[in-house]
Structure 1
Amino acid sequence: MTQQTNGAAPEAPQMKMSILAQFVRDMSFENAVALKGLQSNDVQPEMQVQVSLDARKRSVEHQFEVMVKLKITATNKANNTPLYLLEVDYGGIFHIEGVPEEQMHPFLLIECPRQLFPYVRRIVSDVTRDGGFPPFNLEPIDFVALYRAELARRAELQAAEAPAHVS
């Protein structure tokens, strides 16, 4: 069967992505409540979540490693004492083809973390619950906004480091 293009431009190569592996590179859960001998039901947690992302090309063609790093700090609302600190570095190995080079950086730091998010969210929920606290369910993360904020931060840093122009 012959495909008619009616003079349209040929189709761009189709993007292919698959997750080859997922893993916890590092995880730490420090339970201050257990260390102090308090009951976790005596406290009302206030949560702070920090997210950072990292991506790198692997030696195998079309393979990339993407890391989602979370730092979750819980403090007691009543007196601002620490309850727990959870740090997790969760990674994925991705096989990616058909993404134009100029779009690869945002793809790696937006779409790949979006694919990993449900799994790291489950880990956070399980670890906090197993630590004696109510399960902490991460709100969905806007990886596009996170990416744009990082670009803006880097541009601001570059502008601050640039030598002043004298007229």
Structure 2
Amino acid sequence: MADETTNGAAAEAPTATQFNLQKIYIKDASFEAPNAPQVFQEDGQPQLQLNLAQKVATLAEGVFEVVLTVSLTCTLNGKNAYLAEVHQAGIFGVNGFDQRNTEALLATYCPNVLFPYARQAVGDLVTNGGFPPYYIQPINFEQLYAEQLRRRQAGADVSAPAQGNA
């Protein structure tokens, strides 16, 4: 009888949430120095532009591939010195979370896990290309996600009255 009560209570308990990292890998990496070796003789202040992008793909139920793309472009005196780009990927298991929390995990926690690997890969490409090291500063993915939600909400607020008037 005691077993029946225990089993009944366990059956009614909500599904436990699970989050796990299954694999981290570089999906793509490239380095271009189109004006080498002449660019090594140039004097001047390099201009650096860092771009981030993220893509999430569903591989199976509760299994997602998150790809963080980090692109670093350096120009010197109007010429491209180099372009380093890394697509750092990971496979994550996410189960038992509601849609909102799953989206937040995939948009914030997963890129935070991938970012140090991407930063290292970009840094290695730059120094192996013969250029001075570049250290990408930490990125606040939570803030980026909050800004994305704010923009999404502002877009919904703007379009909601227009739909009501139509």
| TM range, smaller chain | 0.7 to 0.9
8 Å contact from structure 2 (residues 67, 87) kept in 1: yes
Alignment of 1:53 onto 2:51: no
Q: Distance in 1 between matches of 2:75 and 2:139?
A: 21
Provide, for residues 43-88 of structure 1, a one-character-per-residue CA deviation record: whole Å limited to 9, x for no partner: 54221111111112222x3211111012211122xx3332111222
1:130 to 119, 128, 131: 128
Cα pair distance change 1:63/1:38, threshold 3 Å: same
1:91 aligns to what SS in structure 2?
strand
Counterpart in 1 of 2:4?
Answer: none
Q: Which runs of 5+ in 1 are unaligned?
A: 1-10
From the superposition, tell whether residues 156 and 73 of structure 1 become closer, same or farther in structure 2 (CA, over 3 Å): farther
Instruction: Select 2:148's aligned residue among 150, 163, 167.
Output: 150
Confirm or deny: 8 A CA contact 1:52 1:69 kept in the other structure. Answer: yes
Distance 1:106 1:82, change over 3 A: same
Q: Does structure 2 conserve the Cα–Cα contact (< 8 Å) formed by 1:33 and 1:40?
A: no
Deviation string 1:105-136 (CA, Å, 9 cap, x unpaired) is: 01101001101111111101100000111122
Structure-to-structure mapping, 1:100-119, within 5 angstroms: 100-119=98-117
Corresponding residue to 2:91 among 90, 93, 99: 93
Equivalent position of 1:29 in the other structure: 31
Give 2:25's aligned amino acid.
F
The residue number in structure 2 matching 1:81 is 79
* Secondary structure of the corresponding residue to residue 119 of structure 1: helix
RMSD: 2.9
The structure where helix makes up a greater share of residues is 2
Secondary structure of 2:35's aligned partner: helix
Length-normalised TM-score, structure 2:
0.76
Confirm or deny: 8 A CA contact 2:67 2:88 kept in the other structure. yes
Residues in 2 aligned to 1:107 and 1:68: alpha-carbon distance in whole angstroms:
14
Q: CA deviation at 1:95?
A: 1.4
Q: Is the 8 A contact 2:39 2:81 kept in 1?
A: no
| 5+ long unaligned stretches in structure 2 | 1-12
1:64 match = 64
Identity of aligned residues (%): 31
